[in-house]
Chain A
Amino acid sequence: MPSLIHVENLSKDYRLIRKREGVGGGLVDLVRPRHRILRAVDNVSFDIAAGEMVGYIGANGAGKSTTIKMLTGILTPTAGEVSVGGLVPWRDRLQYTRHIGVVFGQRTQLWWDLAVVESFRLLRKIYEVPEAVYAEQMAVFDKLLGIGEFLHQPVRKLSLGQRMRCDLAAALLHRPRILFLDEPTIGLDVVAKESVREFLREIRDLQGVTVILTTHDLNDIEQLCRRVIIIDKGKVHFDGLLEDLRLRLGRRVRLTVDLREDRTREAMQTTTEGLPVNWQPAEGRHHVAEFRRAEISGAEVIKLVVNACPVSDLHLAEPDIEEIVRDIYRAAGKEHA
């Protein structure tokens, strides 16, 4: 498959100043700062083809954002190379940024005090979007995101969900080939999250945009990405299809049970005797079991528990990204050992 984004041995070091204590120390720092080198991204390589939608995931501080910032040309790497369609992001910045759209979930790209439509008009001018394309894009955004309703409100008066919809539209106004999304659903409620995902699916099918997405929400990945790249401590730990990842890990699920009377852990363990279900050490009315979906279904476990104990409440939860990353990391550790 032809590669649109080529990343090879990419690394980024940050030089952190280790501050000395006190006023005297502050003065010494001025003259002779002590540095500590932190390698945020360590020898990362991958290729992404046009039209792919890739989830780039990892725990906090794993190096996700740093990678995205190098791919978008914000940061200059310490070592390694990036070539996107023949352009080097940080070197060919003025050319390159015409082809990409970027959304940072944490902060808006729009002008805070202006009506949304004013931001779009300025962006149209900056990216030299032809009038016809502009009208077409705005029609699409109104249809898919319903931004027409609040086009004339100042950005500062929008809700987070409305703002995110506007940010997505702003990032796509100039029909970029590549869209970078850094935590696009952070802080949104379930409905707003769903509408953002729906939009991303539609826009991918409609305009064939290549998407790289970082997120904390595993549902984002499941619903949008076939391929995931997992990064931890700056290194790539997994790069492949989501199905393969699931197969490799089995999917760990956690069942929380609240009872109407006390039970020991052993008693709970006997309810699922002989099955690959692991009850965590606990006494009393609250118990937690872990199992893998690949080995046993949730319904089966629930049926056994409900039949054997007086259950007052049940809760089945998927592991979050942090846990998956930890699993991957542990698995990698074992392989090396």
Chain B
Amino acid sequence: MAANDTLPRGKTRSGWSLFIWQIGIYTAYFAQFVKSRLAYRMDFLIDTLAISVSIVIQMAVLTTLFSKVKALDGWSFPEVLFIYGFSLVPLGLFNLISVNLYRFSDQYIIQGKMDRVLLRPVGTLTQVLCESFNISGLNEILLGSGVMIYAARELGLQPGVGHILGLVILAPGAALVYAGVFLAITSVTFWYEDRMGLAPPVYNMIRFSRYPITIYSLPVRVFLTFVLPFAWVAFYPATWFLGSPGFARAALLTPVVGLIVFGGAVMIWRRGISRYASTGS
């Protein structure tokens, strides 16, 4: 005997209405997050203060560092600086939403928060990413923008609408590359339960992506382009603004690479969900 008392199937969303619904959910979760942070007013103040201090310190470090370096493998100091500045924008975007990817194994798998996530009629990834935000990601976005504007002025680039449009397309595209890489790493938790895992060493490799890729040997270049595609998070997209021959056209592939990497990671995540074993009791 099959179940013959049926539950109504709700509307399934697609396209535009799905998009609007998702935005609504993100907003609701974000509002919730801000409210819960405001519940600890002192924490919130300290965070804001810490971010401001950290921006000043990072600016000072950059100035000192680059006052010693005039050029790097044919790239002028302002060009290197521009790439560095650009790299911080997608990193900041990614840091805004990625807190729970680092905590995922511990909080969601080992402590069992994933059960609750699976009981709600919202996508699992949406919930995990939106249950916490890292506001200090704004720090990197502001710092990166500041550095880019400074470097652009040194290079004599006239920032126009086209540049802003380029940033709006390329930076989120590059952020998707980060998100994809770390989501894939996080998804491994569904197969191998582990508190920290691969994320910290890979996170450390992000720093390789902040310099012109031409300074590395060929195997490293191939590795950073096709295997661990961190060349797409800063160098390739940044060259579009610099108009570097050869690379500038590759730069336009950034959003495509982002979508491929992130899409692949989402597929791994979904397979992982069906393997989810929950905790005891």
Contact = CB atoms under 8 A, between A and B. Distances in A.
A198 interface: no
B44 to A, nearest CB: 12
Contacts of A85: 3, 5-7
Contact of B1 (A6, A100, A118): A6
Contacts of A94: 121-123
A69 B116 CA distance: 11
B214 interface: no
- How many chain B residues sit at the interface, stated as a range, is 35 or more
B274 interface: yes
Binding site of A, secondary structure by majority: helix, strand, loop or mixed?
Answer: mixed
Contact of B122 (A6, A111, A126): A126
B120 A126 contact: yes
Contacts of A106: 281
- How many chain A residues sit at the interface, stated as a range, is 35 or more
Interface in A83-102: 83-87, 90, 93-100, 102
Contacts of A3: 1-5
A75 B24 contact: no
A104 interface: yes
Interface string B1-33: 111111101101000000000001100110010
A6 B119 contact: no
Max count, chain A CB within 10 A of own CB: residue among B7, B40, B114 = B7
Contacts of A269: none
Contacts of A55: none
Contact of B3 (A4, A14, A127, A154): A4
Given A6-B3, A87-B7, A98-B121, A118 B35 contact: yes
B58 interface: no
Interface in B35-55: 35-36, 39-40
Max count, chain A CB within 10 A of own CB: residue among B3, B35, B40, B281 = B3
A69 B278 contact: yes
Given A5-B3, A87-B7, A114-B39, A72 B278 contact: no
Contacts, number: 103
A162 interface: no
A84 B35 contact: no
Contact of B28 (A47, A125, A177): A125
B24 to A, nearest CB: 7
B277 interface: yes
A126 B32 contact: no
A98 B122 CA distance: 10
Contact of A6 (B2, B25, B123, B280): B2
B119 A97 contact: yes
B276 interface: yes
Give the 5 A-B CB pairs with smallest separation, nearest first.
A85-B7, A6-B3, A113-B36, A86-B6, A4-B5
8 contacts: A6-B1, A47-B3, A69-B115, A69-B278, A107-B112, A109-B119, A125-B25, A154-B39
Given A84-B7, A113-B40, A122-B32, 11 more contacts: A3-B4, A6-B1, A50-B5, A74-B276, A85-B3, A86-B7, A98-B10, A107-B112, A118-B35, A126-B120, A154-B39
Interface of A: 2-6, 14, 47, 49-50, 65, 69, 72-76, 83-87, 90, 93-100, 102, 104, 106-107, 109, 111, 113-114, 118, 122, 125-127, 154, 177
